[in-house]
Structure 1
Amino acid sequence: MINPAEMMKIAGIMKKFQSNHPKVVAFMQHTFSNSIPVGSVIELTITKPGQDPVTTNFKVLEDDVEMVETLKKMHK
């Protein structure tokens, strides 16, 4: 079980993230508004200042879909 105080802290952190990065939040809301089917590939690239980009990807599993659906329900 998550401590209610920790939930409040997480909510505050998420609100600040949404304020700092509205385009990312809009992208994620649009992308995850419908289920991402099993077998889809999600790719992430991070470019640190002065360094070459580093990219990884993963194929979406059924467990991943279940996790996203659970998180969506928690957000409501």
Structure 2
Amino acid sequence: MNLSQIARLQALKKHLEIFQNNHPRLQPFLEAVNREVLKEGSVVEISVTSPEGKTLVTNMKLKKEDLEFIRALHELQSVR
């Protein structure tokens, strides 16, 4: 890993800390999801509403490969 990559990771870590401070209920929610309902076949739905009231919604049914990716991200976060 070169110095540029290390600097990017440090900046990303700072942004993550700010995000977590701005949204303190998200991490406990995601941990509960991971612990209680995250399994193959679960459906994740995401809804975003703009300040003007426009809403976009999508969903996805989780596959085995999706769970492997999510767990790899979780392990990466645990390393910090």
The TM-score with structure 1 as length reference comes to: 0.84
Moved more, 53-62 or 25-34: 25-34
Task: Report the equivalent of 2:14.
Answer: 12
Task: Report the equivalent of 1:21.
Answer: 23
Q: Give the paired residue count.
A: 76
The runs of 4+ residues in structure 1 deviating greater than 6 Å are none
Structure 1 gap ranges (5+): none
Taking only the aligned residue pairs, the percentage that are identical comes to 26
In 2: Cα distance, 1:42 partner to 1:15 partner: 24
The TM-score with structure 2 as length reference comes to: 0.81
Structure 2 gap ranges (5+): none
Choose 1 or 2 for highest CA Rg: 2
Q: Secondary structure at the match of 2:45?
A: strand
Measured after TM superposition, the shift of residue 35 of structure 1 is 6.9
**1:21-54 CA deviation, whole Å, 9 max, x = no partner?**
0012221122124571111100000010112321
Q: In structure 1, what residue type is equivalent to 2:65? A: D
